[in-house]
Amino acid sequence: MAERLTHFIGGQHREPASGEYFESTNPATLEVLYEAARGDAQDVAAAVDAARTAFESTSWRRTTPTQRGHLLRRLGDLIGEHAEELARYESLDNGKLLREMRGQLRSLPEYLYYYAGLADKVQGSQIPTTSPAMINFTQREPLGVVGAITPWNSPLTLTVSKLSPALAAGNTLVIKPSEYTSRTILRLAELAHEAGYPDGVVNVVTGLGAEAGAALVDHPGLAKISFTGSTGTGAAIAAKTASRFIGSTLELGGKSPNIVFEDANVANAAMGVVAGVFAAAGQTCIAGARVFAHRSVYDELLERVTARAASIKIGDPLQDETELGPLAFKDQLEKVRSYIDIGTKEGAHLHYGGQRPDIDLPGYFLQPALLTETTNDMRINKEEIFGPVAAIMPFDTEEEVLHLANDTQYGLAAGVWTQNLSRAMRMSQNLDAGTVWINTYRAMSPMSPRQGFKSSGVGIEHGLESMHEYTRLKSIWINTDEGPVADPFIMRG
Ligand code: NAD
């Protein structure tokens, strides 16, 4: 029988109330890796109770910001010590290259160290008043129990991006990881326990989105939901949190443009296009899936990108030489394939790839696909595919491409390839995207804020600003005048 993983609630592992489990499968080999607890409303209630008790307990409530910084640093160290194990588990679960996951795990402690440094820099301010006797100041307070719901594509990085600022600010957490990647998030909770976090500060309920995820969103004990996932799920969550007047941070989908001007270094731009949409098998929110090439460099770019796509080594994600692993699960493969069909039925030409590659492994493999003769208003260019599928379109003027790039419901990221500084500046000012890369793609760090514009999200992750997503601001007034109140019917300030 497959190994069974249970929830982590109140500092210990706990069987699911229903007694039910679901399987997690290796998408490269189709072997069952383990079974994870299938959480429901009862498990969520137990986890929120544990998190609420921890939030109100003196052992957590009385930690100083400096102590919370130490705890985050210790957790960062432990993640660093377990980096190889965690990278391997992530790769087995979601099929991403072990190489890529090792890279993510190497930089992951830096996220915790960054927020460890911020923990004691969250502060209010003293506000001027109109009366010399009156003192007014603000303070930032933790919110309470934060529900964190995360996707499968970079499970630890995306979860740590929520956990670190939430814990630095003094909140407690209930995390619901994606049903495709439960294992490393459970390991994260175990490592937090080992780092010395009091019981109940970090809880994990595994399970399906419609069950454990929905139960978490519906739980009245939450002070906030921090969600990363698809725009559709994000919209449903936003409707619920808005009706309960609780905050949400939503990091959602994208359909990012990657724009190559006539004055670009086309060889570098071609690598940027490949990095943008074929790295991670295109299973990244920031995938540069809409490639716009100036008509004068269109043929050269297409040739270079096609040549590199055709030489991509597809195979076992655990092998160092592999460049493209499988898609993460069966529905994902079918969805990506169906979009290629939709595109060709709409009139696009499948210029390269899009077929099952000829390899020994039985998993969900797909060649990278390049579509030409597409227009920005086709479904394949309007909807997020979340796979290794790029549409390449020519343009003639900067004004035209700016309009096309912004003509989308999404606003997550954009790439621009040009050697003209003025053009780079103009484009970065006018692109309607939360992140703009000039002559690079997919660069990020814990220091740099990330925000999705339009349907790509609400709220900020990473950077100084993200701390405010996990605090509330209180204004405190103190009257130092102990004399009689002259007129109770006028406001003071
Ligand atoms: P998803 O929306 O299907 O699921 C995300 C999480 O939500 C999972 O844990 C899932 O179980 C849970 N969930 C599903 N239905 C739910 C419901 N009704 N109530 C509560 N929780 C529910 O997304 P996914 O397929 O896991 O991830 C891919 C998506 O995530 C893509 O759209 C991608 O662009 C987006 N993403 C965004 C960012 C970003 O920073 N903007 C980063 C990574 C991924």
Q: Is 44 helix (H, G, I), strand (E, B) or coil?
A: helix
Cα 145 to ligand 1 centre (Å):
20
Q: Residue 88's pLDDT is what?
A: 98
Dist CA 416 CA 375 (whole Å): 19
Q: Which CATH number is 257-438 given?
A: 3.40.309.10
C-alpha 417 chain-centroid distance: 25
Closest C-alpha to 32, from 23, 45, 19: 23
Which helix (H) or strand (E) is 395 found in, with range? strand 389-395
pLDDT at 486: 83
Q: Are 470 and 132 in contact (CB under 8 A)?
A: no
CA–centroid distance, 152 to ligand 1, in Å, is 8
- Beta strands 202-204 and 172-176 are parallel
- CA nearest 339: which of 389, 264, 400, 408? 389
In sequence order, the 6+-apart residues with CB closer than 8 A to the CB of 242 are 248
Q: Identify the pLDDT of residue 485.
A: 85
Active-site residue list: 251, 285
Residue of 233, 255, 336 to test ligand 1 pocket, by largest number of atoms within 8 Å of CB: 233
Mutate to test the pocket of ligand 1, among 156, 226, 285, 329 (most ligand atoms within 8 A of CB): 285
* CA separation for the pair 487, 489 (Å, rounded): 5
Q: Note the pLDDT of residue 39.
A: 98
Which residues have C-beta within 8 Å of that of residue 380, sequence separation ≥ 6?
339, 340, 342, 343, 346, 348, 371, 374, 389, 391
Q: What is the pLDDT of residue 368?
A: 98
* Atom in ligand 1 nearest the alpha carbon of residue 287: 34
Distance 419 CA to ligand 1 centre (A): 36
Q: Distance between CA atoms of 253 and 242, rounded to whole angstroms? A: 20
Give the whole-angstrom CA distance, residue 478 versus residue 460.
Answer: 33
pLDDT (tens, 9 = 90+) of the chain, 493 residues, equals 899 999 999 999 999 999 999 999 999 999 999 999 999 999 999 999 999 999 999 889 999 999 999 999 999 999 999 999 999 999 999 999 999 999 999 999 999 999 999 999 999 999 999 999 999 999 999 999 999 999 999 999 999 999 999 999 999 999 999 999 999 999 999 999 999 999 999 999 999 999 999 999 999 999 999 999 999 999 999 999 999 999 999 999 999 999 999 999 999 999 999 999 999 999 999 999 999 999 999 999 999 999 999 999 999 999 999 999 999 999 999 999 999 999 999 999 999 999 999 999 999 999 999 999 999 999 999 999 999 999 999 999 999 999 999 999 999 999 999 999 999 999 999 999 999 999 999 999 999 999 999 999 999 999 999 999 999 999 999 999 998 888 889 887 7
Cα 39 versus chain centre, distance: 22
CA atoms within 13 Å, Cβ hemisphere of 365: 23
For residue 154, which atom of ligand 1 is closest to its CA?
43
**Pocket of ligand 1 contains residue 151 by CB under 6 Å:** yes
Positive or negative, the Cα torsion across 314, 319, 321, 327?
Answer: positive
Q: Is the CB of 384 under 6 A from ligand 1?
A: yes
Task: Work out the angle at residue 189's Cα, subtended by the Cα atoms of residues 188 and 192, and round it to the nearest 5 degrees.
Answer: 85
Which among 389, 387, 252, 251 is positioned nearest to 329, based on CA atoms? 387
**For ligand 1, is residue 253 a contact (CB within 6 Å)?**
yes
Report the pLDDT value the prediction gives residue 491, as an integer from 0 to 100: 84
Ligand 1: nearest atom to the Cα of 456:
41
CA of 234 to the centre of ligand 1 (A): 8
The pLDDT score that the predictor gives to residue 339 is 98
Q: Is the CB of 256 under 6 A from ligand 1?
A: no
Checking DSSP bridges between strand 471-479 and strand 134-142, what pairing results, if any? Answer: antiparallel
Distance CA 174, CA 185 (A): 11
- Determine the distance separating the centroid of ligand 1 and the alpha carbon of 149, expressed in angstroms: 8
Write down the CATH number for the domain with range 4-252+456-475.
3.40.605.10
- Residue 220 near residue 234 (C-beta atoms within 8 A): no
Nearest atom of ligand 1 to the alpha carbon of 450: 40
**pLDDT on residue 176:** 98
For residues 455 and 285, the answer to whether their CB atoms sit within 8 Å is no
Q: List the structure tokens of 121.
A: 């820099």
**Residue (of 82, 133, 235) closest to 485 by Cα position:** 133
* pLDDT attached to residue 40: 98
Residue of 166, 429, 450 lying closest to 284 (CA atoms)? 450
pLDDT, position 1: 81
Assign 444 to helix, strand or coil.
coil
**pTM listed for this prediction:** 0.97
Determine if ligand 1 sits within 6 Å of the CB of residue 209: yes
Instruction: For residues 20 and 22, give the distance between their C-alpha atoms in angstroms, rounded to a whole number.
Output: 7
Do the beta carbons of residue 326 and residue 364 sit within 8 Å? yes
For the chain, the structural domain boundaries read 4-252+456-475, 257-438
Distance between CA atoms of residues 95 and 82, nearest Å = 19
pLDDT of 26: 98
